[in-house]
Amino acid sequence: MKLRKLSSAVAVLASGALVLTACAPDAGNGDGDNGNGGDNGGAEDPITAEGQQYTVEPEDTGKVTLEDEWETLDDEISVSLGDTEFTSYNGETPETYNVYNSTVVNHLFGGFGYWGTDNVWYPDENFGSYEVIEEDPWTVEYTINDEVTWSDGTPVTVADYVLDWARQNPAFTDEDDSPLFNSVSHTYGEYVTEGPQGDPEGKTFTIEFTESFADWEILVSEAHPAHVVAEQSGMELDELVDAVREEDMDTLTEAAEFWNEGDWFTNPGELPDEELIPSSGPYVLDNWQAGESITLSANPDYWGTPAGTERLVFRFVDDGAHVQALENGDLNVVRPQATVDTRGQLERLEGQFVMHEGEAATWEHLDYNFADSSVFSDSPDLREAFAMCVPRQQIVDNLIVPVNPEATVLNAREVLTFEEHYDDIVSESYDGRYDDVDVDGARDIVEAEGAEGTEIRIGYQAPNPRRTDIVAEIKASCDEAGFEIIDDGADDFFAPGGAQETGDFEIALFAWAGSGQIVSGRNIYSTDLPQNYGEYSSETVDDLWNQVAASEDEAEQQELVTQIEQELWDDLHGIPLFVHPQLSGSDSSIYNVRDTASQDQITWNAEQWQRVE
């Protein structure tokens, strides 16, 4: 079965975006068949890659089934997605959930499904299966395959999924009534209030939804090792499971302390002890050189198809050096920022190297800070004045069109320019009020507000030449309107304790990258949810997102998203700019490299890469 998306968003930092998503599940799956009732065949990769070689030719946008004789080669493949440092084995906190960390830890955890190259959800029957066993209430049964284990030999069991639910349960709170577990999302616990039911030592469990949820099929996938959390919290595994099921907050506090700030979180270059970071995926963490690289090695006890290459090295290289490093052989696969220069450099390497190009489910935007400390928090007029002077068309013409001649200004957030419903949604939600720059009108507002000379700090993850250019173009326009635009890019903008986390900015410039969920935007725009970095709040938007989450009808979802878009324009939550063009390069001797439009980046199938001389 495949799920198509309505829109997209996760956090991309340095050379790309910060990331999230949105997609439409097949509400007609009434027979409860998750893997065999639909057909993914015939779909095409949205990214072109002329000259790319494969050991097995892809038939759809999912991972290929490799030959029976497939085995791990004693080799090393180096890849770089940018110079952003690895953060943590636990990539499910607001501080660690970003594209660059996820592209590493994705290879450490098996799960019930994955995103294909076109944002289609593919069940992973090698890991397990799931099926709807009752429709009222909506109840899903999951079965983990018998052979699935952690790399330390411990079976992956229901206990791991009990912990996975607990860390996403907003009803588990501390003495300040804050969520006990610092998790990037609490949606699972909101819609499944009783948690997974089944023998903790077994392989089968069920979950029961209290109400309809559009993204039910992707709510449960991978899990972290509950036996490690239990041991590090000073308890037996059955004690941890009992604490979850009995809602024993005192005992769970100890587990949450490890989840939130335990030995999974270390200084750059310091991997946790091996017994703390087992893998249920094709690779294990091996070596971390601060500021240089992190190396994964093939999991010798992997239960599935073995990794194609023994060592997969993620190098932290500034994307301005990617193409030269590719040509020199220092890197084998690169994902630089798509610019005229990088495109020309990759085209020059045609023959020995492959260029992958297309459009990403990643979109650039400017977000206002609504916190009390921000000049924009209680001034819709100043938000409007800023929007009036931002030269969106000029930014696209100067920075994006040279790479993608078909590029246009983005006028929505939950649906992208290349998606089916974009024109319909935009025509009903946006009236073109910010299509043209109006410096004079903006100046009139600034003067009426007595705000001449107000400093507007635009924060972003630096270095990033394209974002520096964006800020420069905004400054040239908005300074004329009476603002004083400050380029406040910093290399720690999104780091723990950085300006984004502390709210020390007026405007945040970054991108959301996505896959295929319907409801992920709820985590960005709804009041007090973890990825609502600008502290925006609207009861109307909150209610609309709750309706989207409960809807199983695509037409109704589209209408609700249209209303959300209109509210976000009227409130000026932020200003969408453009969809990212996408360029990647790979050595032609590396087989099975396939880029993807989703947030999983070009390394989404890296366990299938092999060098063929």
Specify if 89 maps to a domain. no
Residues 549/519, Cβ–Cβ less than 8 Å: yes
- The reported pLDDT for the residue numbered 18 is 33
Specify if 65 maps to a domain. no
Instruction: Using DSSP bridges, classify how beta strands 309-316 and 507-513 pair: parallel, antiparallel or unpaired.
Output: unpaired
Alpha carbon distance 140, 131 (integer Å) = 6
User: What does each C-alpha distance from 67 to 56, 64, 75, 147 come to in angstroms?
Assistant: 8, 9, 19, 20
Specify if 48 maps to a domain. no
- What are the tokens at 451? 């705000």
DSSP letter assigned to residue 313 = E
Alpha carbon distance 220, 19 (integer Å) = 19
SS3 state at 376: coil
Residue type, 207: I
- What are the tokens at 562? 């249209």
Alpha carbon distance 368, 413 (integer Å) = 14
SS3 state at 5: strand
Specify if 198 maps to a domain. no
| pTM of the entire predicted model | 0.81
Mean pLDDT in order along the chain per 10 residues (613 residues): 36 35 26 30 66 94 94 98 95 91 97 92 97 96 99 99 98 95 94 97 98 91 98 98 97 98 97 98 99 98 98 96 97 94 92 90 95 94 99 98 94 91 97 98 98 98 94 99 98 90 96 80 91 95 94 92 98 97 96 92 97 90
SS3 state at 80: strand
- The reported pLDDT for the residue numbered 419 is 84
How many beta carbons lie within 10 A of that of residue 481, not counting itself?
24
- The reported pLDDT for the residue numbered 44 is 57
- The reported pLDDT for the residue numbered 516 is 66
Residues 494/17, Cβ–Cβ less than 8 Å: no
- Helix (H) or strand (E) run with residue 528 in it: none
Specify if 355 maps to a domain. no
Task: Assess whether the previous peptide bond of 463 is cis (omega < 30° from 0).
Answer: yes
- What are the tokens at 107? 């290879």
CATH number at residue 479: 3.10.105.10
Specify if 594 maps to a domain. no
Alpha carbon distance 131, 124 (integer Å) = 13
Alpha carbon distance 520, 121 (integer Å) = 15
Alpha carbon distance 234, 253 (integer Å) = 12
How many structural domains comprise the chain? 1
Alpha carbon distance 219, 511 (integer Å) = 23
Instruction: Using DSSP bridges, classify how beta strands 353-368 and 507-513 pair: parallel, antiparallel or unpaired.
Output: antiparallel
Specify if 481 maps to a domain. yes
Specify if 179 maps to a domain. no
Structural domain including 560 reads: 362-579
Closest CA to 533 of 505, 563, 575, 572: 505
E strand segments, 155-282 = 204-208
Angle at 114 between CA 304 and CA 584, to 5 degrees: 100
Residue type, 60: D
144: Cβ–Cβ under 8 A, 6 or more apart, which residues? 127, 128, 156, 157, 158, 203, 204
